[in-house]
Amino acid sequence: MWVHPPTELDRAPAPVSHLARLAHLSARLRLIGEGPSSGGRRVQREGRDRPVRPVQRWIEKNLTNPPMRAALRLGIAPRSFALLETTGRRSGKRRLTPVGNGLDGSVFWLVSEKGRGASYVRNLVFDPRVRVKTGRRWREGQAVLVPEDDGWARRQKIDDGNGRMGRLDGAIFRASATEPLTIRIDLRD
């Protein structure tokens, strides 16, 4: 593990307010992410070197996903989204993740923004039995990673089938995706 040299952030007293803590943590993450073993924080795509945005991840986890998850559970979310249920690899508890609706007959296509680094991908690798809720219906299935599939093209096809909201979600996906990985879920009726 790469350890950065001590800085004023290491010697500073712990911040008091929530926002100050977040700024302090963000500054530390930027320093750690600049080291030789940055853990994939910089990703090369189409000639651009860009950092993974920790703030965007925090916004997804704490601001956008909870209300979307609730709307999906109630069956009132836009049709361009679905709810993926996996089993936690450590806890064994049910994990619900809002995803783009990739339903195509008896197959559900999904493209992970962070590849194998996404928690739900690690969960479904551990236990490939999943459930998917589209609209008001839950369907069980078996997930399979398809690394040879072009994730960018697959995601574009999913977005095109999901109208304006799907295209908007796809634009956000393309702006933040680091290593898209296609996942096929074979659904049972």
Q: Would 83 be classed as within a structural domain?
A: yes
Q: Would 64 be classed as within a structural domain?
A: no
Q: Which domain, by its residues, includes 43?
A: 12-50
Q: How large is the average pLDDT for residues 143-152?
A: 95
Q: What is the mean pLDDT of the chain?
A: 79
Q: Would 21 be classed as within a structural domain?
A: yes
Predicted TM-score of the model (pTM): 0.68
Q: How large is the average pLDDT for residues 96-116?
A: 93
Q: Would 59 be classed as within a structural domain?
A: no
Token pair 């008896």 in the structure block, residue: 106
Do residues 82 and 173 share a domain?
Answer: yes
Do residues 42 and 129 share a domain?
Answer: no
Q: Would 5 be classed as within a structural domain?
A: no
12-67: per-residue pLDDT in tens?
A: 555 455 555 555 555 555 444 444 444 444 444 444 445 556 777 788 788 888 88
Give the residue from 185, 189, 183, 180 showing the smallest Cα distance to 46: 180
Do residues 102 and 155 share a domain?
Answer: yes
Total domains present in the chain: 2
Q: How large is the average pLDDT for residues 66-74?
A: 86
Do residues 98 and 169 share a domain?
Answer: yes
The alpha-carbon radius of gyration of the chain (Å, integer) is 18
Do residues 87 and 39 share a domain?
Answer: no
Do residues 111 and 24 share a domain?
Answer: no
Q: Under the phi-then-psi rule, with left for phi > 0, alpha for psi from -120 to 50, and beta for the rest, what region is 105?
A: left
Q: Which strands sit side by side in the sheet containing 107-112, from one edge to the other?
A: 94-100, 81-87, 129-134, 137-146, 181-187, 107-112, 103-104
Do residues 40 and 89 share a domain?
Answer: no
Q: Distance between CA 91 and CA 52 in Å, rounded?
A: 27
Alpha helix (H) residue ranges in 39-86: 54-59, 65-74
